[in-house]
Amino acid sequence: MSANNLDLWNSVAKTDPAHTKYVNQRGGFTSIDSYYQIQRATEQFGPLGLGWGYDADYVFHEDLIACTLRLWYVLEGKRSEAFPVTAMNPWRELDKSGKVRLDDDAAKKALTDAITKALSYLGFSADVFMGLYDDNKYVAGLKREFAEAGQKPKAAAKEAATKSTGFTRAQWEGWVKKYTDGLAECMLRGDLMALLNDASKREGLAKLKAAHLDLYDAVVREQMRSASMMELTPEEFKPDPEAMRRILAADKEAVSGMGGVA
């Protein structure tokens, strides 16, 4: 077997511990988040239904539901033959009191188990299925590896944002806060109302309002763009949209009261 035959396997064999959990049942095992597996398949092959996909059939066997899944994928422009796997899940069990309990999610559980099993045959999360997750040192090493890998895109995004805007993150946050807080304070003191009332001419009032709204729109757009580029969380960056809404409401009220531009 050539090294190329293992390219796909080696690229998807490692599993991010953040998407696993230990299940203390049936002797104990590591469970992998099914949507993490679906995401990784999409990264490798493309969207479900285009780059990869499956057909599934269900059969009931007494208290079990069996899902037979046939998975296919596209690799290097060629579509594979669909290959079958089967997974089972209880759909009817007795609870502790002896009453029959029906599992509404039995079919879904059987399907996601089948997808995980099928993808494992291609190498996805092979380290879990080959028992490497039984080694605490191996898992600890993976945690460090995935943590370091996760920091690189964030650092690159922040650097790109600084280069494109000319502002560091701290400068940007300070500027937005100063703008929103300053206008909110003016509105609360009544200075904004006075400023609008000082615009005696209809044309001047219209220009003042248009400039104010344009600046507001620019701030919102830049907030969204920079927050996205820098991958800031709500905890890291909190603009004050409520203050901006109050400011716009004051604008509208002042303009309406003067009979100005709506």
**Amino acid in position 92:** R
Sorted by sequence, the CB contacts under 8 Å of residue 2 that are 6+ apart come out as none
Pick left, alpha or beta for residue 89 (phi over 0 → left; psi -120 to 50 → alpha; otherwise beta).
beta
Q: Please determine, for residue 11, whether its predicted confidence score (pLDDT) is greater than 90.
A: yes
Domain count, the chain: 2
Q: Are 123 and 69 within one domain?
A: yes
Chain-centroid distance of CA 78 in Å reads: 30
Q: Are residues 129 and 160 in the same domain?
A: no
Q: What letter would DSSP give residue 34? A: H
For residue 35, pLDDT over 70 is answered with: yes
Domain with 17 in it: 3-134
What mean pLDDT comes out for the span 219-236? 48
- Closest Cα partner for 123 from 197, 185, 45? 45
Same domain, 20 and 115: yes
Is 143 part of a structural domain of the chain?
no
Supply the CATH number for residue 92's domain. 3.30.390.80
pLDDT in tens, 114-169: 999 999 999 999 999 999 999 999 999 999 998 887 766 556 655 655 555 455 55
Residue 65's Cβ-count burial label (10 Å; 0-12, 13-18, 19+) is buried
Residues 124 and 16 in one domain: yes
The reported pTM is 0.57
Phi (first) and psi of residue 27, to 5 degrees: 90, -5
Residue 76 domain-assigned? yes
